[in-house]
Amino acid sequence: MRFDDRITFVQDVESYYDPIQGEYVEGEKVLTTKPCNLSYLGINRENELFGRTDRVTMVARLQRPYQKRVDYVYLNDDETKKFNVMRRSDYRKGVFYLEGING
């Protein structure tokens, strides 16, 4: 299996009070990019896992598990299209099921 695609995990950090600076520090995005294998989930499997067939779901497979909190992801460094993590695989922590976010 080739891991020639890239997935960027985005974690939004909220603003917080820094007592050393004496003021609030703006939140920032923490970006982590990993190699992955991307594919579409078939209609039959989509129906088995989620009980619907009206949406397109991407499957991202990583070489190693990714355990950190994820708010949303970008695929192949295209920051115009965001994807929600619908589900992580229980037995393989490196498999993510992604659904596109409109707007």
- The pLDDT value recorded for residue 73 is 94
- The pLDDT value recorded for residue 44 is 73
As a whole number, mean pLDDT of residues 61-77 equals 91
- Reported as a single tens digit per residue, the pLDDT across 3-52 is 999 999 999 988 888 899 888 888 888 999 999 999 988 777 776 777 77
Does 54 or 33 have the greater pLDDT score?
A: 33
Q: Which of 4, 5, 1, 10 is nearest to 79 (CA)?
A: 10
Distance CA(66)–CA(63), nearest Å, equals 9
Domain residue ranges of the chain, discontinuous segments joined by +: 5-15+24-100
Distance CA(16)–CA(89), nearest Å, equals 33
- The pLDDT value recorded for residue 53 is 67
Q: pLDDT averaged over the chain?
A: 85
- The pLDDT value recorded for residue 102 is 67
pTM value is 0.79
Give me the amino acid identity at 20.
I
